[in-house]
Amino acid sequence: MNNSLDWVNRIQQRAKKLQVKKEKRAIGGLLSLCLMLSFGLVGYLGCISSGGSCIVPGAYGSMLMYEDAGSHVLVAVISFIVAVAITVICIRIREKNKKNNNSKKDE
């Protein structure tokens, strides 16, 4: 009986390790996507601030670029990305604290 409980515990530990590995891979992918988007937006900011006109006739999105309004939109997008990153970090810290508290209670 003790052997079967040990086996179940080992399976549960392995499942947890695989779940953590999957979560880390997903977070890494999202982080790389976020970084690519940020670098793209920073490059776009360089295009806007170079003084060239970015207005395309007939395109609705070009209206946002009229009279440098695009920089305000860019700042809003970057602020959103930073807020999402901070939220994810806070959630991860809370989960770790909850996990540590549960393991202390089990002992």
Query: Residue 54: pLDDT band by 50, 70, 90 thresholds?
Result: low
Q: Higher model confidence: residue 7 or residue 3?
A: 7
| Residues 6 or more apart in contact with residue 62 via CB below 8 angstroms | 54, 55, 56
CB 31 within 8 Å of CB 37 = no
pLDDT digits (tens, 9 = 90+) for 59-102: 555 555 556 666 677 777 888 888 888 888 888 888 888 887 77
The domain tally of the chain equals: 1
Give the pTM.
0.45
Determine what percent of the chain is predicted with pLDDT higher than 90.
Answer: 3
The domain in which residue 13 lies consists of 2-106
CB 48 within 8 Å of CB 68 = yes
Average the pLDDT over 22-47 and give the result: 79
- How many Cβ atoms sit within 10 Å of the Cβ of residue 70? 19
d(CA 22, CA 18): 6
Mean pLDDT (the chain) is 75
